[in-house]
Structure 1
Amino acid sequence: MKSLNITITSTHLSCQANLLGKAFHRLRQVPDIRPEKIGPIAAAVHSNSYPLDCRKIADRLIAGLILGCF
């Protein structure tokens, strides 16, 4: 009976490993940067027209410090 549990466990792990491998393969196909999103933002930053919400930035920095993200 014990060997049956080991077989089931290793089969279960193999299925999970297979799914994880497929997920990593698909992720490698996705570009790290999407130029259609970055282009307009970069242009706005360079022209000093990108809107900044200083309060929102400060809130997120403080929350990150409190939660240990930084």
Structure 2
Amino acid sequence: MSQTIEILLNLIEQLQTQLKELQEENQRLKDENNPLKGEQQQPKIKAKKTRRFSPNYSSEKERKLLQN
């Protein structure tokens, strides 16, 4: 019984991987085909870059003291 479950779980995993690959290929082909039909491509959105704040910041009072 446990061997059968293991086989089924492996099969499900393989099918999920194949499904994901086919969905990605399908989207790639749609993106490639859309300009040929005069339509817009799916926008390529890049992740936002996080801003790192410098630990060397000072208060307004400290800046005024440094300027004098």
Q: TM-score, normalised by structure 2?
A: 0.45
Give the structure with the higher percent helix: 1
Q: Kindly name which structure, 1 or 2, has the bigger radius of gyration based on alpha carbons.
A: 2
Q: TM-score, normalised by structure 1?
A: 0.44
Higher relative contact order (CA 8 A, sep 6+): 2
